[in-house]
Every structure is written in structure tokens, then in C-alpha cells.
Structure 1
Amino acid sequence: MDYKKCASEILQAVGGRTNLVSAAHCATRLRLVTVDNSNVNVKELENIDGVKGVFESNGQLQIIIGTGTVNKVYDEFLAVSGMSAATKDDVKAAAAAKQPIIKRLIKTLGDVFVPILPAIVASGLMMGLVEALGKIPGLGFAGTDWYQFLDMVANTAFAYLPVIIAVSAARVFGGNIFLGAVMGLLMIHSNLTNGWAAADGYKVWYLLGHWGKIGKYTFGQINQLGYQGHVIPVVISVWIMCQIEKKLHKIVPEMLDLFLVPLVTTLSTALITFMFIGPVFSTAETYLLRGVQEIVKIPFGIGAFVIGLIYPITVVMGLHHMYNVVEAGMLASKEFHNLNIWMPIASAANFAQFGACLAVGVKTISAKRRTVAVPSAASASLGITEPAIFGVNLRLMKPFICAMVGGACGAAFGSIAGLGAKAYGVTGIPGYLTINNIPLYTIELLIAGGVAFVATILFWNEDKSELSAEEGNTTSSNQPAPVACDDVAEAVIEAPVTGEAVARENIPDPTFASGVMGDGVGIVPTEGVLVAPCDGTVISVQDTKHAVAMVGPKNTEILMHIGVDTVQMNGDGFEALVADGAQVKKGQELIRFNIEKIKVAGFNTTVAVLVTNSDQYSNFEVKNLGSVVKGTEVVVAK
């Protein structure tokens, strides 16, 4: 590969040096921030020799090149563009600064919510299961002690949601997570009237007497009312807490810091929260929910149709995390009968992406495209749509539009049918455990997925010129040159970590799951040691120590990426034991990593084990899934 030629063509396709703000790279991707993305010729980028994919995320233009290659292209890119090297944090900051303030706020909200989704999903699924068992005629489960116990377990995450949100928000805003937990607990303290019982009335504290009365509000008034189910007041409160705490750390002498900073931070934040933030933002949240309710209640499902139509666009723009707030509010609102009516709309939109992506997989004559489309469709059916959207539908555009229409039709039906969920955080097939009407929900999914599937079959036709450029042949400029194989009959790749092996399409990273970086497996680790999966040569150890690439038997190019988005940890919790160019033996330790640190930082720990040139082998087989130990055979390439 001509790295300089690749870099020069990328520079031209992105609009030249004048259209660039910052550039960095990770284990597989060149990450750019541009002045104006409309000046980027995406189709030209995708056809450059060495570029495996292009997508935009969080203000960054991410160009997938591949492990062991991206760093060489990056060096040439800096040389031809005249730019200075930037860190991932520099690029992230530049991308964030470029985004509109609304999008930045919504992204922050997403950063708070994404790490806590496992807790919400677990509780939601358990709530759906327990309630379903309790409603089975003749079983009598609802009257048992087991039902009471399981109902308590299932409800915990929702009953104490402000605490979970507060801890996550403190981590995002750089504050003490335990002080954040105190603020969350304070907002649902037992001395306050439970927020779900507000209709029965509550008392008021007048800290400054009865002077300063404006309308119904008295200055210094604190309502003895908890914030169960509220989200925005908690996030705002913890943000202020973190600003106060960081300011005090700078000005308070070290000998007084330990007790003075937590004391002043907690008391001042509590006063600000209960006097101002709580009343103002809980009211604003209520108006937002009413606005959503009015849109959804437009007759004949028209409102739901409109929301279902634009929902995928908000996913592409990264705005969909804000719906967690809407859904949490619905579940906490008697006005909505404690029912999440937004979930069926989102579920229809997501399942439509499944239908469109599956249609591409069925209709395409490209084996390469099919290997991406089919597993991406399976992922979308479970509510994880990024592989389908970014890997297939949006890239081809017509399937994406067909999915929008299918989602709108399904959402309209769901609204007319009165569908709703008992929790949030799950859509698609897992949504069966939280939905209020399984037969009608099935019909909604069939409508959404069916319309998208049929429309894609009818209106999307494969571009033969695009196909030849993407699929290529042995002489195509986009097809990697065949590599010389050594004299072993097959390359055996063993598990580099001990844990639970999952199929590649179930890796919780859209790029890896889609297969664009090659085939392989994911392993959820139970030990923090990564070893060589075979004999070979290390070709790249990332400076953030979260990923390593090597060449193994039969010239297999192996990428081992620890965790999802762990590049953001900047090496904290990782220790590299080898360097570029090292000759390693099977089972030799490569990286040690702290699983708990990764979890506390809010990142998924799954280790991606991919053969990035898997398409060059006539027989590529995943041998073992489920429980594996280091040394278990997981992949064989012939």
C-alpha cells in the first residue's frame, strides 16, 4: 500500500487543509474534525485504496483504515497536510466545541445515561417478567412471597433512579461520585413526601420566614417533596455540585480540604437545589412531557407517525439519548398511567432498520455486503441499530429512507393500538418483556419491519459501478493484494483472555459488530490479562495501551481491542508488556488491564478479537462461543 498516496487522496477528499481543524488516530481509524462536513466527498473517500469505511460520529469524521496501517497513513497525512499531531482528547474537544450547544447538552445527557443503562435494562426486563408471571390466570404467583421479593428487586433501580443518575453525572462532570450519591439520596430522602404521591399534598419549610413572597412562592421556601422519577433536576444539581467542589479545591488550603470542601459543597448545593433548581427544572420537565404527550395524541396516530419518521435521523445526529429523560418521566407520571408510550415508537423505528438491512442482505449480489448486512440486521432486531444504520442503510440511503417510512407506519399503529411499556432501555425483540400487549406489539413490529423490507426490495437497486468498486477483484485498486501464506495448513487463533465469548455481531461496538474490520469474536473478560493468541509478531501497540495488533500464522492480521471506547481512558488502568516489533509466543502476556477501572469509567469491557484480513481466507470459522479460558481455540483460518 502506498501510504503517502492514501493520505494525499484523503486530504483532497476531505476538502484540503483549510477544511481541517484537528487530526488524530486510534487503533483502527483516522479521526478528523472538519470545518464543514459538507465539503467532504464521502463517496470519493470510500473508494480510496486502503479506506474500509467512513462515518461521522459526535462531530468527528472517522475514516476506518485498519490496525497496523492507520498509524502509517496518519504520519503521512500529517506530512502532506502540514498539521501537528493531536491526541484523541484534542480531537474530541475540537469536535465538541464545533457542535451546537443543544447537541453538546444532549450528548452530555447521553454520557450520563449510557453507563447506567445496564441497571435500567436489568430492572426493566425483570419488572416485565415478574408482572407477566403475576398476571398468568390460575398461577396465583401475585400473592406469593416470591412475587413480593422479586418485585422489590425489579423496582429498585427505578425507585432510586436519582441516586444512580447522580453518581453517573458526578463521574461525567469530574466530581466526587460519593458526594454525587449524597445529592441523589438527598433528593429522595425519607423526610420528603414521595414525588409519586405529590397529588396528596406536601408540607413546606420556610427557611427565611414568610417575607419575599412572589405569587405562590416565598423566597427561601423549600418544598418537602422528593424527586423520584425526575432526571434533569438531578443532573443540573450534580453539575453545580461539581463546579463548586472543583472551585473549592483550588482555593481551600490542603490541610482544611478534607473536611471543609465536602461540607461546603454539600450544604451549598443542597440549598441551591431545593430552593431553585428542583422547582424550576421539574416544572420544565413536566412541560416537556406534556408537549410529547400532545404530539403523540394527535388523532389517528399522525403524531406517532411523524415521530417515528424522524426518529432514525435523531439517532444519526446522536440526539436519541434525550428520550431516556422523556421515558423516565412517563414512567413516573400518573398522567401517562406510569406507562412508557415512547418505547413502542422507538421500537418501530429500530425494527424498521432491521427490515431494511435484512432486505439489503437478501437482495445484494455482493458476498462482502451480505456478510455485513445480515448480522447488522440481527443486531437491529434487538434494538442496537448503529451497525445497520452506519454500516448499511445510511450508506446506501434508499434503505434508510425505506426504514424511516416503515418505522413511521409501525409507530402510528402502536399509537392507535394504545401500546406502552413498563420500563425503558429496551426495544425490538427484548421489548416483549416490558410491553403491555404482546399480540399488538407483534403486529407493530411486523408492520414496521415488513414495510421497510418490502419498500427496500422494491425501490433499492444495487449500483453495479459502486459494487465493483466495493467488491472488487484481484486487480481492483480497492482490493488488498493477496498475502503470501506460510506453510502451515491452518491458522489457529486462541482466546487471549478468559471470559465469555460472544459472536462478533454481538460486540457492543458498531464498527466491530458490523464486520467492516474483519471477522472474529468478542470476549467479556473475567481476568485482566491479555495474552498472545498464537505465535507471531507485534506490529502495533496503541499509545493508550488498550489495543494491540499482531501478525500470526498464515499471515493473519489480528487486532485485540480491550473494551469499547476505552481510548478515552488515555491508558489509565492499562499496562503494556510488549512493544512494536516484538516476537511473541502463544500465551505470552501482552497487556494487563484493570477490569474494575474500565467499569467505573463507564465503559463496556468486551475484548474484540478480530482477524482484520479474514476475507482473504477461503475458510474462516469461529470454533467456540460461551465460556472460554486463555488458550481455548476460538477461530480457525485456512
Structure 2
Amino acid sequence: MASATTDTSRHILREIGGADNVSSLTYCATRLRFDLVDRSKVDKDALDSDPAVLGVVEQGSTGLQVVMGGGVADYYNAIVKEPGMGDADAEGRASSKKEYGGVRGRYDWVNYCFEFLSDTFRPVLWALLGASLIITMLVLADTFGWQDFRADMADQPDGYVLLHAMWRSVFYFLPIMIGATAARKLGANEWVGAAIPAALLTPEFLSLGDAGETVHIFGIPLVLNDYSSQVFPPLIAAIGLFWVEKGLKRIIPASVQMVFVPFFSLLIMIPATAFLLGPFGIGIGNGISDFLLWLNGVSPFILAVIIPLLYPFLVPLGLHWPLNAIMIQNIATLGYDFIQGPMGAWNFACFGVVAGVLYISFREKNKGMRQVSLGGLMAGLFGGISEPSLYGVLLRFKKTYVRLLPGCLVGGIIIGFFDVKASAFVFTSLLTFPAMDPWGGYLIGIAAAFFTSMLLVVFFDYRGKDEKAEILAGLAVEREEEEDADSVEASPSESGIGAGTGKPALQPGAVTVITAPVEGRATPLSDVDDPAFSSGALGQGIAIEPSGDTVVAPADGKILTVQKSGHAVGLRLDNGIDLLIHIGIDTVKMGGEGFEVLVEKKQKVTAGTPLIRFDAQRIRDAGYSAVTPVIVVNTKSFSTVEGLPAPIAAFGDDIITVTAKAAEAVTAP
């Protein structure tokens, strides 16, 4: 039996157009990132209907981000195992040069620069998060006087030296990681991209002298720099590598490119980085950092207010990555960072909004929002990751930013008043506050941000008037349906349908027959050209190739749902059988053209009541199949559900038999 993760993964793949529509797939801390052949094939409403999906965000003209939260890796691993995905993913990775050219053609240069930064840092995020928590442990040890966090390693106990090595491994060799991921994003060889900054971290290069000194290499002056923890030099070197490789591949025969392209690339790019690109990259990082440092020096209030008010708009667009690079740059050059403290105000205002949503969802018994908000809150409070909250809640409802920004402002002012600085690069969660100085002022600031936004949501809600009314109406219908189901199971109706035993379907051992709701030819459900139906994922039943133009109720019951577009209707028969009648495949895209809805939700109907009129020829002319699946949605409640294919199906003809579970199966715990 497939797991919930596998079912959701297959649902996602199906609703984005299948494996053939995926040119590449990657993932970050919370999001599946698809690059699609044709994004018009995506059914966003169907994706959003899955409670495991926290949000769907379009990126550029072919990109699609599906927000899954902290378990995103499990969904990624399940999707790439699906038929067709292994080859597509491999092609996407292998043809990274083609992907780069396509992206450059689709985005303007500004958008691509930010996308380049985002996709470069994204794979390193996991290592950075792990290292930040190790740093927090050591800062706590410093706070309690067990060791001096900034003492020379020669003065540290051996155990703490090992702990320091754990986090420094990530930050010291960060240029190597960035060189690899940046080169891969651009379409250059990622291992050559890693080797270029690695050369500047070797004992041989470091033995040339201390940072700031000038040495002469074959008579050419070389200014030495400390490249550990730097991010801009490897980024610029990767760009240079892309153009060098591109030029070399034009002049070197393909048969020997594997040998001579990397040879000449290293021979050209390592000296170019040491003499020119590396110092230029350090200058860029220092320049941006110096500007922000100057602004912070003019008034910490200004910076502390601007940062948390900007972040809610930067993160959805992926524009926050340059600031993350500056944070790392600040730690490397100044020994502290002045951005992370104010950033915490934005994070905790965001988590405060979600906490308020969680409170309201418990009060309203809204299971869907309760799951989304609880997952976002846990990822935020303990991981410092805001994307599940942002995409699962904030970007979905009208009033959230009105509740969010006051928390950002209040928290930013307080953190600015205390002039909070970070002593290490960490993710701003509850676990990492010891890295802030003064951490007491930081805690006051993030608490103020959190509770300001939370209380605004609790007292004034997070939805617009229309949004709230729609959600409450949906919840009321769900509760009514649950009550109806309970009443049916407790006291089943005595009215059977069809020519069976005349007993209700839920009575143990009873066999009930469902008759055709539309004239036409009945065919096996497995023949339908849509895996959602043919696989039985939605339930068992039959398909009808219609010759008539009207769908009628096959028995007495109540309308559970009817699509405004008219392409589908769901009803609960009085004997407890839930039916879905879906007119055509992908006909939702017709926007209601060719359909006339004759009933409304919660309406009582009798056998033969017309439900929907449709124009089958118009469906076919629009390029869609008119085949109409008739599905027993609650198939699992019965022992068997079997379709009865027949050459011709008319009103009153038998099309499905439903056998209730035996008495012992019904009463078993």
C-alpha cells in the first residue's frame, strides 16, 4: 500500500502535467522547485486542495515552486522515483548549459542575478543550518563560562576544538561549496568550480604570506587576501569559468575536451581569481558591508526598522539572498553582524501571525489551516525557516500583511534600541538567541514582534470578510456532511436502488446496483485516459461515453457539491453511497462553456432529477474527451465496487454493483 507521502507526490506530479512536463526538479529547505516545459498544464487549484501542500508559487515563465515544509526531501525522493522522472531529472542536470541559456532568454538580467544567487546558496542551506546550531551550543557554553568562544584554539580544550572544527568546516570551506553550486547553476563543471577557490585555501597558497601582503609571482605583484568564508570571489570565479569553458569548447575537439577543457580552465582561472577576480569579489562584499555598516553607524534605528519591513517583500521573490551573503561577509571581516538581529523581528512577527491563525483554526475546528499553521510555526520557532509560514498562510489571505508589518516595526524598533548584533551566522529561531548580543534585548524585541502580530490576528482575524465567510461556510458544510454520514451509518435508510436485494448498501452483506445517470456506452474505468480515474485513486466505478446530453440522479439523495463550471457533480445517495459524476476529462478548462448546472449544493433530489445539461460535441470540438467517469467515492466503505461494461447504457440500466462488507467486517474494531 502506498504511503501518504507517495500518494501526495503522485498527486503533485499528476497536477503539474506529468513527468513529461518536467524539465528539471530540485528542492530547498521547504520547497519543491520545478522547471516545466509548459506551465499552462498545471492545475494550481488541484495542487492547493492537498492538505500537505502549503502553497504554490510561480517563478518566471516556466518555474513552479510547491511549498511542502520541512519534509520536502521525502516528497522529492518519492517524485524522482516515479516513472519517467529519473530520466527527466538526469537530463535536466546533464543539460545544465541548455537550462542556463533558456533562463537567460526568459528572465531579464536583474531577475536572473537574484535567481542565480538563490540557486547557488540553496543547496548549501542544510550545512549552514546545521553549523548554526553547533555555533549556538558553543555560544551557550561561553555564556555559562565553560569556554571562551573566541579564544585561540591553542587555549581551548580538545573537545571544544573538535566542536569548533565542526562549524568552521562549513564556513572556512564555504567558498568551495559556493564555487561548486554556482558553476552548476551556470552550466559549467561544478568540480572545476570547486577547485578554483580551493586552490586559494591550500597550505601552499597560504604559505606565500599574510593577508594584505604583496608578493611577486613571476615578477607580477599579487596582493594576498584571506579567502576563507568569502562568498563573492567564488561567485565571480564561477561566472568567469562559464565563459572560459564555453570558449575552450569552441576550439578544442570534442574527443579530447574531457582532458584539456578542465586543464586549461584551471590553468587560466586559478591565477585569474588570485590576481583579479578574487580581490574584486572581496571589494564588492566589503563595499556593500561598509555601506550597511555606515547606515548602522548613522542610526541603528534606521537599519533595524528598514530590515524587518523589507524582508516580507524580499523573501517571496528570493531577493534576500544577497543580504545573507553580506551577513556571512560581516562575520568574516568584522567578527559580528548587524543584520541578523533586525531580521529576527521579521521572522518572529511572521511566526506570530501563524500562531494567531493556529489559535483561530482550533477555535473554528478548521483542520486544514490547523495543520498548515502548526507546521509553519514549528519550522519557524525551532528552525528559523519562514517559507512554510509565508507560503502556507501569509501570501494566501488579504489581511495577513496588515497584521505582520506592525509586529516587524515594533520588534525592529526595540532591537534597534538595544543595538543587537550577532556574534555568529545563525538562523533566527528560539534555539539561537544566545548568538545575539545583548540577547536579553533581542528576546524582548522578538517577543514584542511575535505577540504584536499574534494578537492582531486573534482580535482582528487574518482574512478579508469574503474570505472568512467562504471558509466558515465550507466548514459548516463539512460538519453537516460528517453528521449526515454518522446518521446514515447509525440508522441506514430502507430505500435501495436498482434491481438488487432492495436492502440499503450499508446493511451488512447487501448488494446494491447503481443505474446509469447518462445515456451512452459504458466502458471499464481503467480505459479512461486520466490516471486519477483509471488507477482507481478516486474510487472504483465505470466510465460512460455519452450519447445523451443530460446527467440525472440515479437514485434519491442530496447534492454534496457541484462545480460552477458544470463539469462535475457529487451526490450522496440515501443508501449511503457517495457518487462523483465527472463529465469529460480536463473539461474544467472550458470554464463552463457548454455546461448548464440545474441543481445547487445541499439540494435534495429524487431518482431521475436532471442535474447537468452538457454539449458533448462542443467538448470534443474543444479538444477534450467527453467520456464521463461515474465513481463511488467512498469505495473503501464497501467490500466490492464493480463496474458493468455494456454496449449501450440508458437511464435505468445497471452500471455498477456495490457489495457491503460482511457483518463481522463491519463490527470489527
Give the TM-score normalised by structure 1: 0.58
How does 1:10-21 map onto structure 2 within 5 Å?
none
Query: What's the CA shift string for 1:500-540, capped at 9, x where partnerless?
Result: xxxxxxxxxxxxxxxxxxxxxxxxxxxxxxxxxxxxx9999
5 Å-filtered alignment, 1:409-448, equals 409-432=410-433, 434-448=435-449
Partner of 1:392: 393
2:361 is the counterpart of 1:360: no
- Shift in Å at residue 350 of structure 1? 1.1
What are the within-5 Å matches in structure 2 for residues 235-314 of structure 1? 235-299=235-299, 301-314=301-314
Cα gap change, 1:93 to 1:414, in 2 (>3 Å): farther
- Superposed displacement of residue 372, structure 1: 2.6
Mark the CA change 1:154 to 1:361 in structure 2 (over 3 Å): closer, same or farther.
closer
**Residues 462 and 150 (structure 1 numbering): CA distance in 2 closer, same or farther, change over 3 Å?**
closer
Distance 1:47 1:410 in 2: 38
Question: What do residues 239-295 of structure 1 show as CA deviations (whole Å, max 9, x unaligned)?
Answer: 221332243234313454343222211111123223321222321221100112223
- 1:230 and 1:414 mapped to 2: Cα distance? 27
Distance in 1 separating the partners of 2:391 and 2:330 = 30
- Does the CA contact (< 8 Å) of 2:23 and 2:35 recur in 1? yes
Q: CA deviation at 1:414?
A: 2.1
Match for residue 224 of structure 1? 224
Equivalences, count: 443
- Asked whether 1:127 is paired with 2:135, we answer yes
Residue segments in structure 2 that go unaligned for 5+ positions in a row: 1-20, 26-31, 69-74, 76-91, 150-154, 490-525, 541-632, 638-668
Task: Mark the CA change 1:158 to 1:315 in structure 2 (over 3 Å): closer, same or farther.
Answer: same
AA at the equivalent of 1:204: V
1:111 is aligned to: 119
* C-alpha distance in structure 2 between counterparts of 1:615 and 1:291, whole Å: 63
In the TM superposition, 1:44-443 aligns within 5 A as 55-59=56-60, 97-137=105-145, 143-192=156-205, 198=211, 201-205=212-216, 207=218, 209=219, 221-299=221-299, 301-334=301-334, 338-363=335-360, 365=364, 367=366, 368-381=368-381, 382-432=383-433, 434-443=435-444
CA contact 1:324–1:425 (8 Å) conserved in 2: no
Q: Which residue of 2 aligns with 1:599?
A: none
Output the CA distance in 2 between the equivalents of 1:360 and 1:554.
Answer: 34
CA pair 554-484 structure 1, distance change in 2 beyond 3 A:
farther
Shift of 1:330: 0.5
Name the stretch that deviates more: 458-467 or 299-308.
Answer: 458-467
In 2, the alpha carbon distance for the partners of 1:26 and 1:179 equals 22
- Inter-partner Cα distance in structure 1 for 2:636 and 2:393: 23
- Tell me how far apart the structure 2 counterparts of residues 471 and 223 of structure 1 sit (CA, whole Å): 67
Residues 1:49 and 1:484: Cα distance change in structure 2 (over 3 Å): farther
Would the alpha carbon gap of residues 548 and 248 (structure 1) be closer, same or farther in structure 2, given more than 3 Å must change? farther
Q: Measured at CA, do residues 323 and 296 of structure 1 come closer, stay the same or move farther in structure 2, by a change above 3 Å? A: same
Cα–Cα, structure 1 residues 248 and 64, in superposed 2: closer, same or farther, change >3 Å? closer
- Give the 3-state SS of the residue equivalent to 2:124 in structure 1: helix
Does the aligned pair in 2 maintain the 1:241–1:269 contact within 8 Å?
yes
Equivalents in 2 of 1:422, 1:301: separation in Å?
A: 19
> Could you report, residue by residue, the CA deviation over 1:37-81 in whole angstroms, capped at 9, with x for unpaired residues?
9xxxxxxx97999799974342258698999xxxxxxxxxxxxxx
Measured in 2, the distance between the counterparts of 1:231 and 1:434 equals: 22
**What residue identity is the alignment partner of 1:176?**
N
Gaps of 5+ in 1: 1-22, 38-44, 68-86, 210-219, 489-536, 556-613, 619-637
Kindly tell me: are residues 395 and 140 of structure 1, through their superposed partners in 2, closer, same or farther at Cα, counting changes over 3 Å?
Answer: closer
**What's the offset of the Cα at 1:326?**
0.6
Q: What's the CA shift for 1:386?
A: 1.9
CA distance in 2, matches of 1:270, 1:462: 55
Distance 2:65 2:357 in 1: 23
Query: Which string of whole-angstrom CA distances, capped at 9 and with x for unpartnered residues, describes residues 355-378 of structure 1?
Result: 012212323536143333333233
Q: Residue by residue, what CA displacement relative to the aligned partner does 1:575-620 show, whole Å, maximum 9, x if unpaired?
A: xxxxxxxxxxxxxxxxxxxxxxxxxxxxxxxxxxxxxxx99999xx
- Matched residue, 1:452: 453
**AA at the equivalent of 1:263:** F
Indicate the structure (1 or 2) with the bigger Cα radius of gyration.
2
CA distance, structure 2, for counterparts of residue 148 and residue 539 of structure 1: 64
Q: Which moved more, 1:244-253 or 1:226-235?
A: 244-253
Retained in 2: the 8 A contact 1:327–1:343? yes
| Residues 54 and 378 of structure 1, relative CA distance in 2, 3 Å threshold | closer
Aligned partner of residue 229 in structure 2, secondary structure: coil
Higher mean alpha-carbon deviation, 275-284 vs 129-138, is at 129-138
Q: Assess, with a 3 A threshold, how the Cα gap between structure 1 residues 33 and 187 changes in structure 2: closer, same or farther.
A: same
Equivalent residues of 1:51, 1:63 under 8 A apart:
no
Report the CA distance shift for 1:345/1:33 in structure 2 as closer, same or farther (over 3 A): farther
Q: Deviations over 1:2-57 (max 9, x none)?
A: xxxxxxxxxxxxxxxxxxxxx9899999999999x9xxxxxxx9799979997434
Instruction: Note the C-alpha offset of 1:472.
Output: 4.5
Cα–Cα, structure 1 residues 402 and 435, in superposed 2: closer, same or farther, change >3 Å?
same
Deviation at 1:346, TM superposition (A): 1.9
- Equivalents in 1 of 2:233, 2:142: separation in Å? 34
One-letter amino acid of the counterpart of residue 129, structure 2? V
- Distance in 2, matches of 1:151 and 1:161, equals 15
Contact 2:192 2:262 in 1 (8 A): yes
Q: Deviations over 1:430-477 (max 9, x none)?
A: 323533444333212201101111233344464453234345549989
Q: Structure 1 residues 241 and 342, CA, compared in 2 at 3 Å: closer, same or farther? A: same
| Deviation of 1:106 (Å) | 1.5
Amino acid in the other structure paired with 1:349: W
**Secondary structure class of the residue paired with 2:216:** strand
Percent of matched pairs sharing the same residue: 20
Paired residues of 1:33 and 1:94 also in contact (CA < 8 A): no
CA distance in 2, matches of 1:615, 1:347: 47
Residues 57 and 340 of structure 1: CA distance in aligned 2, closer, same or farther (over 3 Å): farther
Amino acid in the other structure paired with 2:337: N
Moved more, 26-35 or 248-257: 26-35
Where 1:230 maps in the other structure, the secondary structure is coil
Contact 2:179–2:194 (8 Å) recurs in 1:
yes
TM-superposed CA distance for 1:226, in Å, is 3.4
Query: Aligned pair in 2 of structure 1 residues 132, 257: CA closer, same or farther (>3 Å)?
Result: same
Q: 1:461 to 1:357 in 2, by over 3 A?
A: closer
